[in-house]
Amino acid sequence: MSTIAEVTAADAEGIAAVFAPYVTDSVFTFETTPPTAAEWRAKIRERTWPFLVLAEEGEILGYALAAPWRPKSAYRYSVETTIYLAPRAAGRGHGRRLLDELLKQCAEAGARQAIAVIVDSGHPASRNLHRAAGFTDAGVLRRVGFKQDRWLDTLLMQRELG
C-alpha cells in the first residue's frame, strides 16, 4: 500500500533516485545535471509550499512539490507545481493521487493559482494527468529549451485553487 506524506530530509536520496533518470535519459525536464541528495536536502529545508512524497514499503516512488511561480511579491499566491514518478509507479493512479493532494494542500496554504510547465516532448502523460486534475492550457513557449540535440517547447497549464 502506498502512502503520501510531507517530505523529510531523509527522503532526499529517494527523490534524487526518482528524478535522475528524467534528467539523464529524457527531455521531460530541462535540468542537464541530476541534483544530488545534498541539493535535494537544501530544497527540502528551503521550501515555502507543500512538498510531498509517495512511498511504498519505505521506497520513494514519486514526489510532488510546489514552489513560488515568480519571485515578485504580486505573484505570492501563485505556485508552480512539479511531479515525478518512478517508472514502476506510473499508470497505477499514483500521479493523480499525489497531484490532487498537492493541490489541496496548496489551496489550504493560501495559493490561488497553480501553474504547470510541461516540456512538450510528444509524450502526453503529464499533459493528460494535469488535464484530468482540472488544469487548462494557458499557452506555449516555443523552442525555449535545447536538450538531446533538439529544440523543445513548453506547455503552460493553469488551474485555479481555493
Please state the domain count of the chain. Answer: 1
CATH classification at residue 26? 3.40.630.30
pLDDT tens string 28-58:
999 999 999 999 999 999 999 999 999 999 9
pLDDT tens string 126-156:
999 999 999 999 999 999 999 999 999 999 9
Minimal CA–CA distance to 89: which of 64, 67, 117?
A: 64
Domain containing 79 equals: 2-160
Question: Which residue spans within 30-161 are E strands per DSSP?
Answer: 51-56, 59-68, 78-85, 113-120, 136-147, 150-160
CB atoms within 10 A of CB 94: 20
In this prediction the pTM is 0.96
2-6/136-147 β-pairing? unpaired
